[in-house]
Every structure is written in structure tokens, then in C-alpha cells.
Amino acid sequence: MTPVLLCGGSGTRLWPLSRKSYPKQFVPLMGEETLFQASARRLSGQDDMLAFTRPMVLTNADFRFIVTEQLANVGIDPGPVLIEPEGRNTAPAVLAAALHAAESDPEAILLVAPSDHVVPDPQAFRAAVARGLEAVRAGDLVTFGIQPTHAETAYGYLELSAPPDGAGRPVKLSRFVEKPDEARAADMLAAGNFQWNAGIFLFRAADMIAAFEAHAPTLMGPVRAALEEAQADLGFLRLAPGPWAGCEDISIDYAVMEKASNLSVVPYGEAWSDLGGWDAVWRESGPDEDGVVASEHATAIECRNTLLRSETERLEVVGIGLENVIAVAMNDAVLVADMSRAQDVKRAVAALKEKGAAQAVSFPKDHRPWGWFESLVVGPRFQVKRILVHPGAALSLQSHFHRSEHWIVVEGTARVTVDDEVKLVTENESIYIPLGAAHRMENPGRVPMVLIEVQTGTYVGEDDIVRYEDAYARN
């Protein structure tokens, strides 16, 4: 079967670590691997139960190189990477995946999964997928239900036609249930035939296309046209923006699943989380006997039921006498909240957007195809950056209208082009880039190259750039 990884979301409830420019699926929230990498590894390879093809990925243009870099780092070669011109929710994305797969094989089996879930037991999940295959071969659209462990109000629910049989066999779905209040969630927990909606789907491409034709026909034309007019770009497939803009912004649940009659649910009783808030991160991180989770650069003194987390080694977080508190610190933003208000973090993001704070959407590190940079100091006529360039990577050949630059190499070796001159600059050496000069830096070595860039001029914004050549085909 073909895994389809959806990774275009923004994850605002895990701000400040997750932001629109670098959301939670690409962040190592629960260990050294990112959630996206863990999802890809969980749905790869073959064993006695399942055999997966290379993953299909749906993402946006800003994340396309992050996707391929993170997959390469865990040894996974991606299949098609479809670039959505804009986010239109999950229904158009799932239909695009089904239509693309059906071009070569209408009977192709697809497993569509968000890329930001935590599944501690991958083998148990793969076994659940295998149990769903019989229903898929019978023509059903299969979704996965998570056995509730508490009366959760942040998830939608699935009402099963009968309680799970204990063996995890597929059960017919009666209906979808919206996120409940606490009383309704408690009633459903006690009833025994309700499961959390995991938002994971297993189906044959032809069956999903038929479901869209029956229940959401207005999406068929725009999505099909976006695929037919798609443009290949450095191994990615850019869906055509014109037709895609005509797609309704709607979830797969509303568009198809709530209307279809051929639905089955595979119950899953093992540990699972969509990390939908810092309270979920606290639970999944394994609190100590006092209910405390503290990261490497955080210290808790006489605290209870508290999450303390510092995302930089230069900033120590200390909590004293705290109870039911979330404290997450980065070098440009700090969140402090009551544990019971974890779902309100998205309100903080909205408030920051309203006041024009860059921290609402922008991550401190700006990830690019060649590496990343971060601003260390910004003044009215200068800026200091730290820049890391991956081995073998190169920035575009470019110039600036309003600023000159000094580059000081602090790790590795840079090959620097300034107009007609090309030279190697090694550690503890520097070079000056005059205003208006065509220039480029490359890393010819086998280790990451790090340099400090000092910009001076009347304007130091990122849009003061003219590209002449670019290996990554950026405009």
C-alpha cells in the first residue's frame, strides 16, 4: 500500500515551539526524531503483515525542502511530493492523492495519515492497519478509532454500531460526533461504543474517488484540473494554483465520510496522541512521581503537575512551587499557562498576530533548502546573523540594493563568489561583500559550514534580494 503523509498544518496549540513557518510535525518534540520522521518510518518498509511503497507527501511550497531533507536523514526515499498552492483542508488533499495514485493503478490501496501523531508502538499500529485490509478489499472506506482513556473534549468521536470485540476487528460506523462538552464526553466514555477520531483513513483509490463523485462532486473538477495542469519542479509536483483556488475549504469528514454508507472503523487500543496541546505533551513525556516534566535546561523545585521546557541551552528555566503550570521558553518567546488552559494557546497566537508580533508565525531559525539562518541582533541599520550551510549546498547567486555584508567563517570552509572572483574562506577568516556585488557562498566540504554575517545598510529585510542563479528554482 501507499502511505500518504499530510504535513501542511500550522500546529498553533503548541506555540511557541510550533509556528506557521515551522510547525510541530518538523520539530523534535518527543525525542531526537521529528513527528514527521517518526510517521514516515512507521509507514515504511515491509514485514509479515504489510508492505509499503515509497510515501506520497502533500505539503506546501515552504516545507518542500524540509520534507525531503528530513526523509533523507532517516533513510527514506520519497515518492511523489505534491505541493499545494494554498491550504484547502483535508478533502482536496485526499482526493488529489487518490486521483494521482489511480493514474497508474485504480486499485491502489492508500493509507492517509497526519504526520504529527505520536504512536509509541509502531508494530501494534501496523497490525491494526492489516486488520483493516479485509474491509478495504470489500469496498469499504476504513477509518481508525482510538480507545478513549478519559473524557476528552478536544477530539471528535466515532460512534460504532457495536462495542469493539477485543480483537480489533473492523466495526461498521454509525456516525461521526463533534467535539463534545465534558458531560457528553463522560457519557460516551461510559457507553463503550465510542472512539476518538484519529483522522487516519485506509481505502482503495477507486473507492475514494467514487465517494467524492457521489458526495462531493463539486471538488472533482478543480482537483482533477489542478493535477492535469500540475508542473514538475525539481522532483516536486506543483498543483496548478488556478483550479486549486476553486476547491472548497472542507475536511474529508464533512465532504465525504459523514455522508458515505460504506464506512468501517478499526478500533485501536494502544497508546496514541495527536499532541494537540502542551497538556498532551506533558502526558506523553512521562511525568515523574510529582507529575513534573522538565527538559534538560529546566529545573523544578517543589512543583507538581507541571511542564517546564527550555528550547535553548543558553536559557535555563526554573520553576519554584508551581502547580498545574505549563512554561515553555525559546530565545524569542515564552509561554506560561495554567495546564487546564492548554487549548487556549491558539488564542495567544491570534492576539500576537493582531498586534503584529513576528513571533506569532515566524520561527527563530529560518529554514532554507541549503540550511538555515537565525538573526542574533537587529538594529535600525544593521543585522547580525548566524548561517549554517549543509555539505555540498550553495546559496543563490544574488545581490542587494540596500546593504553590504561581512562574512566571518567560524566552522568549516566556504567557497565565496564576489562578482568575478572566487576564493576559499576558512575558519577565522572573513570577506567583505560590497553593496550591489553579485555574490554566492557554497559549502564544498563534508561537514556543515557556519558563518557570522554582519549586514549594514539602509534596509536589511529579507526581500532586498535579486537572484541570478538558484539551484532550488526559487523565484
What number does CATH give the domain 365-469? 2.60.120.10
Residues 205-233 have a mean pLDDT of 96
pLDDT digits (tens, 9 = 90+) for 245-272: 999 999 999 999 999 999 999 999 999 9
Residues 115-140 have a mean pLDDT of 95
Q: Take residue 54 and report the three cell numbers written for it.
A: 515509497
> For residue 91, which of 231, 201, 229 has the smallest C-alpha distance?
201
- CB distance 242 to 145 below 8 Å: no
**Which of 64-68, 165-169, 353-357 has the highest mean predicted lDDT (pLDDT)?**
353-357
Measured between alpha carbons, how far is 388 from 418 in angstroms, rounded to an integer? Answer: 19
Residues 142-168 have a mean pLDDT of 92
Measured between alpha carbons, how far is 175 from 33 in angstroms, rounded to an integer? Answer: 36
The pLDDT score that the predictor gives to residue 8 is 79
The arrangement of strands across the sheet holding 430-433 comes to 365-368, 371-378, 382-389, 449-457, 403-411, 430-433
Residue 1: burial class (beta carbons within 10 Å; 0-12, 13-18, 19+):
buried
Question: Cα dihedral sign for 247, 252, 258, 263?
Answer: positive
The greatest distance separating any two alpha carbons of the chain, rounded to the nearest whole angstrom, comes to 75
pLDDT digits (tens, 9 = 90+) for 24-43: 999 888 888 999 999 999 99
The pLDDT score that the predictor gives to residue 364 is 87
The pLDDT score that the predictor gives to residue 46 is 87
DSSP H helices in 110-219: 122-137, 182-191, 205-215
Q: Take residue 358 and report the three cell numbers written for it.
A: 513576528
Residues 335-356 have a mean pLDDT of 95
Measured between alpha carbons, how far is 161 from 261 in angstroms, rounded to an integer? Answer: 12
pTM, 2 dp: 0.89
The pLDDT score that the predictor gives to residue 47 is 85
Measured between alpha carbons, how far is 130 from 133 in angstroms, rounded to an integer? Answer: 5
The pLDDT score that the predictor gives to residue 11 is 77
Q: Quote the distance between the C-alpha of residue 21 and its chain's center.
A: 10
The pLDDT score that the predictor gives to residue 62 is 87
Measured between alpha carbons, how far is 151 from 119 in angstroms, rounded to an integer? Answer: 20
For residue 340, how many other CB atoms are within 10 A of its CB? 10
pLDDT digits (tens, 9 = 90+) for 387-431: 999 999 999 999 999 999 999 999 999 999 999 999 999 999 999
For residue 245, how many other CB atoms are within 10 A of its CB? 12
What number does CATH give the domain 2-268? 3.90.550.10
Residue 470 has pLDDT above 90, yes or no: no
Residue spans per domain, the chain:
2-268, 278-355, 365-469
pLDDT digits (tens, 9 = 90+) for 432-444: 999 999 999 999 9
Give CA separation, 329 vs 19, 161, 297, 416, in Å: 14, 46, 10, 36
The pLDDT score that the predictor gives to residue 292 is 98
Residue 38: burial class (beta carbons within 10 Å; 0-12, 13-18, 19+):
buried
* DSSP 8-state secondary structure symbol assigned to residue 379: -
DSSP H helices in 192-245: 205-215, 220-228, 241-245
- CB distance 325 to 319 below 8 Å: yes
Which of the pair, 304 or 61, is modelled with greater confidence?
A: 304
Q: Which amino acid, 168?
A: G
pLDDT digits (tens, 9 = 90+) for 359-372: 999 988 888 889 99
Helix (H, G, I), strand (E, B) or coil at 328: strand
Mean pLDDT value across the chain: 94
Read off the pLDDT band of 49 (50, 70, 90): confident
For residue 103, how many other CB atoms are within 10 A of its CB? 10
Residues 6+ apart with CB under 8 A from 463: none
Read off the pLDDT band of 475 (50, 70, 90): low
Residues 6+ apart with CB under 8 A from 447: 391, 411, 412
pLDDT more than 70, % of the chain: 100
